Structure 1
Amino acid sequence: MAKQSTLRRVLPALGLYFLSPLVAEFLLGNIPITTIVAYLAVSTMYGGGALLVRELARRAGYGWPSMITFALAFGVIEESFATMTLFNPNWEHRHQLDYSYLPALGISPPWTLLVLALHTVWSISVPILITETLARSRRTAPWLGKAGLAVAATLFVLGLLTVLASSITRGDFVASPAQYGGAGLAVVAIIAIGVNLGRRRATAPTASSLRAPNPWLVGTVSLAAGSSFMLLYATDPRGLSPWLSSLDVSPWTATVLYLALFTGLAVAISRWSRRTGWSDAHRLALAGGALLTYAWHAFPWDPITASPVSSATDLAGNAILATATIALLITAALRLRHPRR
């Protein structure tokens, strides 16, 4: 019985550990489903990172604003210290920073906004939200003890070092001390903001008398916003899969549109979540729209692998993951409708 109780307690943590890398790289379409070795390699970084973000926030009694902010810190850490894509002018031989490069900062604003949003929303926040929905009554409770938290932190650091070693081995770029220092200061500032948001949670505005919108509407808005975001990136001629580059969207127009999408969705969610009737169903709808965005997006996206795969294999893998995503969302929805089952 004790073993069964322990397994039940850590099962949500295990689910989050394995779900985060699946969403972050495989459902996105970056890595084909056949590359199991890659899954094992990135699972420590993504899984350990997602657990750290979630557990640190929940153990402190913080809510979603803090978790999302911590997820942003994760994105900065990965893209600055491990893959170094924020600064590498020729990552994967794509010259992606040429799209509105800022020499003073050594970054490209559209690329920076893209990758940080991918990690903040999809790599970390969405897997946490889905797993918490499946956890039902233990949605906001800590899932790990001190030992488990230490293991998660160790896995995260090992994952970062593994990805860093791979990045250095595969390329000829290493970020400068100034770039590392600037990124480190940014991470500290972002975490401080997250902590402050958590401490201010007790004085949050009172609930609005307005009713929350239908969850289906929330999910539709999430899907539309996520799809608009990914379609906008497809216009980047230096992007990883520029299948809409013929539209010739200027980099600064793309930057403004990215920021408008982020701001508009953040304001809408902030207002909706304070309305009467806002529930787990609405949160699941937000996650569902985001997951379905990745599910369709993987089909026109070119995978990034050292060993190329055939189009048939890639499309079959995308179809399997898209089907699994729909099944996962249905399962989570049924959990909400029948919480005692």
Structure 2
Amino acid sequence: MTGNRARPHRLLLVGGLFLLAPLVGEYLFGNIAITELPFVLVLASLYGGGAVLIREVARRTGRGWPTMLLLALAYGLFEEGPVDQMLWNPHYGGIKDFGLSYAGTYVEWLGTSVQLLQDVVSLHTVWSICVPIALVEAFDRGRPRPWLGRTGLIIVASVFVLGSLFLAVAQIDADGFVASAAQYAGTSAVILTLVVAVFVVDRRPLPRLDATAPSPWLVGAFSFVAAGLVVARQYLPESVSAWLVATGWFVLVAFAGALVLRWSRSRGWGGQHRLALAGGALLTYAWLGFQQARYLDVSRTTALIGNAVFGIGAVGLLILAARRQRSEGAQPVADQPDVTPPGRDAGSPSPPAL
């Protein structure tokens, strides 16, 4: 494929990721009703802009998923901290008892709850950023590579900044809550540390293990179960200690992370496995959305119709992505992008227009 023919395809991938991030992060999750679908364009400036920037930074600097995970974590803290202040607002979204639902693990010096931080880290790192990126990358051809040139990056970054400012002001206007300067400063310091850590992490790939990667079906099943355990806290009896549940979250994340790291260093690990990880998490949100329907400010029928539409769409997208991965062949593709000179897009004879 020539560079000129590749550009429209890459722009479609950018547009797909830009819209998919809020669709997965909010609508599939069941947090916003289908009647508010036009609002996705506003949310895309934050969710989609963040996902595209994270993906482009990682691929243009020769890095892969460890970088995207760190930046996704920083994004989650940015969205729920400086942008909408959910980390600190005890009546977030006009919910009178919002803070009380997390009071069991509130830490005074943090100014927030450990379980709330865990929810922010889980939901945004995994579902708002990493799952959409993995799904859209499954439709790319060959090795991971940048999709945008400098002009495109500037446009997306500008949309992200302006969208973040707009949503931050709208949230303050809606809730009338403004966090303290210390809360802003502390969270901003953590976000900056995560961003700096990206460029400190060694870019050299870890050595391969003398082992064979499991079947993508097994990887997907593990992802589905692990993701289900992450979101299952709300279904536990109130008699269960909040700190015990919070500790269990740390254990689960550590175990899952270590296992996936080991699998990713094994022979045969490739795009189908990464898609399976994303697919298991995606399907978790699909069933969770139906549970969330009772909280939406629309009729139960309307909420369930929306859940069905977004759920079927998610399953259909996952099937298409899996077929695309199989059509690319059985050979695993390393999770290392093509490193191109600054200002030039991979595979293009000249810098792309966008």
Same fold by TM (over 0.5)? yes
Distance 1:289 1:44 in 2: 26
> How far 1:136 moved relative to its partner?
2.5
Kindly indicate whether residue 116 of structure 2 is the aligned counterpart of residue 114 of structure 1.
no
Q: Is the 8 A contact 1:89 1:97 kept in 2?
A: no
**1:234-278 CA deviation, whole Å, 9 max, x = no partner?**
1xxxxxxxxx35453222112101111111110011000000010
Distance 1:5 1:106 in 2: 48
Kindly indicate whether residue 270 of structure 2 is the aligned counterpart of residue 279 of structure 1.
yes
Cα 1:39–1:209 change in 2 (3 A) is same
Find the residue that maps to 2:211 and give its secondary structure: strand
Match for residue 177 of structure 1 among 172, 177, 181: 181
Q: Which residue in 1 is equivalent to 2:241? A: 250
Distance 2:134 2:3 in 1: 28
> How far 1:336 moved relative to its partner?
1.3
Kindly indicate whether residue 272 of structure 2 is the aligned counterpart of residue 267 of structure 1.
no
Q: Is the 8 A contact 1:18 1:43 kept in 2?
A: yes
Find the residue that maps to 2:210 and give its secondary structure: strand
> How many residues were matched structurally?
324
Unaligned runs of 5+ in 1: 235-243
> CA-atom RMSD, angstroms?
1.7
Distance 1:249 1:277 in 2: 41
Q: Is the 8 A contact 2:19 2:41 kept in 1?
A: no
Distance 1:130 1:175 in 2: 35
- 1:201-212 equivalent positions in 2, closer than 5 A: 201-202=203-204, 204-212=205-213
Distance 2:104 2:39 in 1: 28
Q: Is the 8 A contact 1:219 1:288 kept in 2?
A: yes
Q: Is the 8 A contact 2:294 2:300 kept in 1?
A: no
- 1:91-240 equivalent positions in 2, closer than 5 A: 91-92=92-93, 93=95, 94-95=98-99, 96-137=101-142, 139-197=143-201, 200-202=202-204, 204-232=205-233, 234=234
- Structure-2-length-normalised TM-score: 0.88
Q: Which residue in 2 is equivalent to 1:25? A: 26
Distance 1:314 1:68 in 2: 32
Q: Percent identity?
A: 40
Distance 1:304 1:54 in 2: 32
Find the residue that maps to 1:116 and give its secondary structure: helix
Q: Is the 8 A contact 1:31 1:304 kept in 2?
A: no
Distance 2:17 2:239 in 1: 39
> How far 1:9 moved relative to its partner?
2.9
> How far 1:205 moved relative to its partner?
2.7
> How far 1:4 moved relative to its partner?
5.7
> How far 1:33 moved relative to its partner?
1.7
Distance 1:303 1:83 in 2: 23
Q: Which residue in 1 is equivalent to 2:287? A: 296
Q: Which residue in 2 is equivalent to 1:56? A: 57
**1:171-208 CA deviation, whole Å, 9 max, x = no partner?**
121111111110111011111222222xx121x33111
> How far 1:61 moved relative to its partner?
0.4
- Structure-1-length-normalised TM-score: 0.91
Find the residue that maps to 1:147 and give its secondary structure: helix
Q: Which residue in 2 is equivalent to 1:239? A: none
Match for residue 325 of structure 1 among 314, 339, 346: 314
Unaligned runs of 5+ in 2: 330-354
**Alignment-mate amino acid for residue 16 of structure 1:** L
Q: Which residue in 1 is equivalent to 2:69? A: 68
Find the residue that maps to 2:232 and give its secondary structure: helix
Find the residue that maps to 1:140 and give its secondary structure: coil
Match for residue 312 of structure 1 among 283, 301, 311: 301
Find the residue that maps to 1:45 and give its secondary structure: helix
Runs of 4+ in structure 1 deviating by more than 4 angstroms, as ranges, are 1-5, 302-305
Distance 2:187 2:4 in 1: 43
Q: Which residue in 1 is equivalent to 2:352? A: none
**Alignment-mate amino acid for residue 112 of structure 2:** I
Find the residue that maps to 1:196 and give its secondary structure: coil
